[in-house]
């Protein structure tokens, strides 16, 4: 590996799948399937470019420390991370969903909020949730979870959840209803600041190709 090797951090699943067409537009093909391979470093058709497979929430961390030159992460993940050390992300218009507040269908959310009582909110997105309820002037006890947020209101852990919703079928299957839409979410390209200076030429051409291709996803 020369020091001009470029490393892209991606998470398995929808981010990986939806980034493939953007890579293709940049003339890059990932030559191994992360769902079939156990390898965490995947080669590409360009010997100077490799892909590392990390947890979705770890993508900004790899890029921040320069272990990856750039990466693709959801706006949800970037807001929780804080974006330190990352170059201004571009919106790739992929992995779209929304961040919402949901409650059990029998729970009177409007009334609970009006009464000024403390609301118990379970979520993976404590930063976004804290800001959202602070803006509304609603007092909340935040309970940090790492997954399966939908279970919270069903077993009495919380009154509400803050979670990502796309079709709403997971909410429906668990007898939950969406009561507030906090923000729209999509995946962003984040770049290590130092890498952008040191490997400008090659990185910039990939960034431009991603940008062009992603405009057609809009």
Binding site for ligand ATP (CB under 6 A): 11, 13-15, 55-57, 74, 76-77, 95-97, 147, 164, 166, 185, 187
Helix (H, G, I), strand (E, B) or coil at 49: strand
| Shortest Cβ 138–ligand ATP spacing (Å) | 25
Q: Which of 54, 61, 59, 50 is nearest to 4 (CA)?
A: 50
Rounded CA-CA distance 22/118 in Å is 45
User: How near is the Cβ of 169 to ligand ATP at its closest, in Å?
Assistant: 9
Q: Could you tell me the smallest distance in angstroms from the CB atom of residue 199 to ligand ATP?
A: 26
Beta bridge partners of 188: 73, 91
Judged by beta carbon, residue 57 or residue 127, the one nearer ligand ATP is 57
Nearer to ligand ATP, 33 or 108 (CB): 33
Residue 73 or 113: the one with the smaller Cβ distance to ligand ATP is 73
We find the least distance from the C-beta atom of residue 117 to ligand ATP, in angstroms, to be 30
Rounded CA gap, 75 and 146, in Å? Answer: 17
**DSSP code, position 147:** S
Other beta carbons within 10 angstroms of residue 17's beta carbon come to 14
Which CB sits closer to ligand ATP, 90 or 138? 90
Closest contact distance (angstroms) between CB of 127 and ligand ATP is 14
Report the residue number, 14 or 50, with the smaller CB distance to ligand ATP.
Answer: 14
The answer to whether 92 touches 217, Cβ cutoff 8 Å, is: yes
CA distances from 179 to 4, 104, 111, 165, 206 (A): 49, 10, 12, 12, 40
d(CA 21, CA 17) in angstroms, rounded, equals: 8
């Amino acid at each position: 590996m020369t020091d001009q090797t470029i490393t892209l951090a991606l998470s398995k699943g929808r981010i990986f799948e939806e980034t493939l067409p953007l890579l293709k537009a940049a003339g890059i093909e990932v030559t191994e399937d992360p769902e079939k391979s156990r390898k965490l470093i995947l080669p590409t058709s360009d010997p100077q470019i490799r892909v590392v497979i990390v947890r979705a929430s770890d993508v900004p961390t790899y890029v921040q420390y320069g272990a990856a030159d750039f990466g693709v992460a959801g706006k949800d993940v970037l807001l929780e991370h804080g974006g330190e050390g990352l170059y201004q992300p571009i919106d790739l218009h992929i992995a779209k969903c929304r961040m919402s507040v949901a409650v059990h269908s029998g729970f009177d959310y409007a009334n609970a909020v009006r009464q000024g009582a403390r609301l118990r909110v379970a979520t993976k997105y404590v930063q976004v949730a804290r800001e959202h309820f602070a803006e509304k002037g609603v007092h909340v006890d935040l309970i940090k979870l790492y997954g399966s947020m939908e279970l919270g209101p069903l077993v009495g852990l919380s009154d509400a959840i803050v979670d990502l919703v796309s079709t709403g079928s997971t909410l429906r299957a668990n007898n939950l209803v969406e009561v507030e839409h906090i923000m729209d979410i999509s995946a962003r390209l984040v770049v290590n600041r130092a890498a952008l200076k040191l490997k400008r030429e090659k990185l910039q051409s990939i960034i431009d190709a991603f940008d062009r291709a992603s405009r057609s996803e809009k």
